[in-house]
Amino acid sequence: MAKANAVVGQSGGPTGVINASLVGVIEEAKKHPEIKNLYGAIHAVAGMVKDEFINLKKLSPTVLKNVAASSSSVLGSSRDKPDEAYCAKILEVFKKRDIRYFFYIGGNDSANTAHIINIMAAKSGYELRAFHVPKTIDNDLLVTDHCPGYGTAAKFEACALIGDDLDNRSLPGIKIDVIMGRHAGFLTAAAALGRQRDDDGPHLLYFPERGVSMDKFLGDVDGVYKKLGRCVIAVSEGMCDTDGVVWTKKIAENSEKDAHGNIQLSGTGVLADYLAGQVKGKLGIKRVRADTFGYLQRSFAGLQSSVDVKEARQCGIMAVKFAMKETSGSVAMERTGSGKKYAVKYVRTELSNVAEKTKSMPDEFINAEGNGVTKAFIEYAMPLTGGVPESAHLDGNPRV
C-alpha cells in the first residue's frame, strides 16, 4: 500500500493498561514510513465522526512513558455503538484525510466497529487496513488467551481481597464484596488470587456462569461461618439465580416501589446491601458488611500489573506490524508456557471472530459446588497479575 495516514482510538470502559496499548501503536507506527501521520481520535468514534484528532507521532518519549504508566484512556473514550450510518460518516472522514490504517483498542463492540467499517471500505473500493487491539477488564473476548486490562484489574481484586480478608480476620464477621465483570466471572474469580492459606478468604465466590439460588447462597455462608466464625464472599455483579434471572433484577421485582423515588434499585450499592440484609435477617449474624468495588477496579492509579502493561503494549505493537502485511484482524495472545515459564505469542485472528461475541469462564475454572475456583484458574490467572503482595500472619505461634 502507498504511504497514507493512520488513526488510533480507545473505546469502551477505561482500563489500567489501555494507554500502554496506545503507546505500543504509536511506537511501532513511528518505525514505519508507510504511516505518514498517526492521528489520535478524541473520544474514539465520536472524534472520528467529528473530525477531532491530535498528532501522535510528535509525542516525546517522556510523554509516552508517562502515558503508558497512566490508567484510563488518554485520548478519551466513547460509549457510542456505531451503526451503518455512523460508520459511513467515519469512512467519509477517513477518505477526506487519506486515513488507510485504522487501529481500534477496545472490547467486542470495538472489534465490531472495525469490522463494519472494514467491510464498508471494501465495498466502496477504498483500501483500508482495520485492526482491533483487545482491551477489557472483564476478560471476555474470544480467541485470545486473556485480555489486556484483565491482569491489572485482577491484581486490584487480589490486593483488595488480601486486605479485606486480613480485616475480616481481625474483626470477624461476614464480608460481601460485589465485583465487576458483566456476564463473565473472570474478575470475581481473581479475588481468589490473594489466598495464601487454607482458611484465607474469599471463602465463597459466585459467578454468572453458575446460577445460584438465595437459599443455596445463604446455606453456603452459614456453613463457612459455623466452621470459621467468619466468611468473606466475592459475588459477581451479574450473578443470577438458577433460572438465569440476574439477582439484581429479582431484588427489584421483590421490593416495593418507593413513592418518593428515592431508592435507586439500579444503584451501585443495592446488590451488596441486599445480600447483607439477607445474611443478617435470615442467618441472624450480627456483624455483616458489604462493599461494591465499583470503578476503582478499572481505573485505580499506580497499580498496574507489570505483565499486563508489557502485553498491552505488545498488542499495540503487533497490530501495527500485522497491518503492514494483512488487511484486517484482531490481535490475540496464545499462551506458550505456564508457571514460571509463562509466555505468550501474538497472533492475528479475523475481526469477525471477536466482534460482538463474549466468552464465559470455562467449567474447569469453577469448582464442583459452583462457589469457588479451581487450581486450573489460579494457574491461568496468577501470571497475569505480575505477582500479588504477601499477607502476614502469626497463626502458627502458640498461646502462652
Q: Quick one: 362 or 389, whose CB is closer to its own copies?
A: 389
From the CB of 17, what's the least distance to its own copies, in Å? 12
Interface with its own copies, residue 397, by CB under 8 A: yes
Considering only residues 218 through 257, tell me which ones interact with its own copies, judged by CB under 8 A.
251, 254-256
178, three cell numbers: 460485589
From the CB of 321, what's the least distance to its own copies, in Å? 24
From the CB of 332, what's the least distance to its own copies, in Å? 25
Q: Which of 17, 21, 71, 248 binds its own copies (CB under 8 A)?
A: 71
Q: Which of 1, 3, 31, 58 binds its own copies (CB under 8 A)?
A: 58
329, three cell numbers: 484482524
Q: Which of 30, 34, 72, 335 binds its own copies (CB under 8 A)?
A: 72
Residue 1 burial (CB count, 10 A): 12
Interface with its own copies, residue 75, by CB under 8 A: yes
Q: Quick one: 71 or 144, whose CB is closer to its own copies?
A: 71
Q: Quick one: 18 or 116, whose CB is closer to its own copies?
A: 18
Q: Quick one: 122 or 265, whose CB is closer to its own copies?
A: 265
DSSP 255: S
Q: Which of 2, 85, 243, 259 binds its own copies (CB under 8 A)?
A: 259
The rounded distance, in Å, linking the Cα atoms of 235 and 241 is 12
For residues 39 and 57, the answer to whether their CB atoms sit within 8 Å is no
For residues 115 and 83, the answer to whether their CB atoms sit within 8 Å is no
From the list 138, 140, 164, 220, the catalytic residue is 138
* Residue indicated by cell numbers 490504517: 101
Task: Kindly state the number of chain residues that form the binding site for its own copies, as judged by CB under 8 A.
Answer: 88
Q: Quick one: 260 or 325, whose CB is closer to its own copies?
A: 260
Q: Which of 1, 92, 227, 267 binds its own copies (CB under 8 A)?
A: 267
Considering only residues 106 through 165, tell me which ones interact with its own copies, judged by CB under 8 A.
158-160, 162-164
The reply to whether 138 belongs to the active site is: yes
Considering only residues 168 through 207, tell me which ones interact with its own copies, judged by CB under 8 A.
169-171, 175, 194
336, three cell numbers: 506458550
The rounded distance, in Å, linking the Cα atoms of 62 and 79 is 30
Q: Which of 61, 85, 123, 262 binds its own copies (CB under 8 A)?
A: 262
Interface with its own copies, residue 48, by CB under 8 A: no
Long-range interactions of 295-298: CB distance < 8 A, separation 24+ = 296/156, 297/137, 297/153, 297/156, 297/157, 297/179, 297/180, 297/187, 298/13, 298/14, 298/15, 298/16, 298/71, 298/137, 298/149, 298/153, 298/180
For residues 76 and 323, the answer to whether their CB atoms sit within 8 Å is no
272, three cell numbers: 451488596
> Is the preceding omega at residue 202 within 30 degrees of 0, hence cis?
yes
From the CB of 147, what's the least distance to its own copies, in Å? 18
| Selected range binding its own copies among 183-191, 202-210, 322-330, 388-396, rule: CB under 8 A | 388-396
Q: Which of 124, 213, 242, 264 binds its own copies (CB under 8 A)?
A: 264
The rounded distance, in Å, linking the Cα atoms of 127 and 98 is 10
Considering only residues 7 through 36, tell me which ones interact with its own copies, judged by CB under 8 A.
10, 13-14, 19
Interface with its own copies, residue 295, by CB under 8 A: yes
Q: Which of 1, 54, 343, 376 binds its own copies (CB under 8 A)?
A: 54
Q: Which of 34, 42, 199, 353 binds its own copies (CB under 8 A)?
A: 42
Under 8 Å CB-to-CB from 280, ≥6 apart: which residues? 286, 288
The rounded distance, in Å, linking the Cα atoms of 127 and 122 is 7
- Which candidate, 51, 54, 109, 49, places its Cα nearest to that of 79? 109
Q: Which residues are catalytic?
A: 138
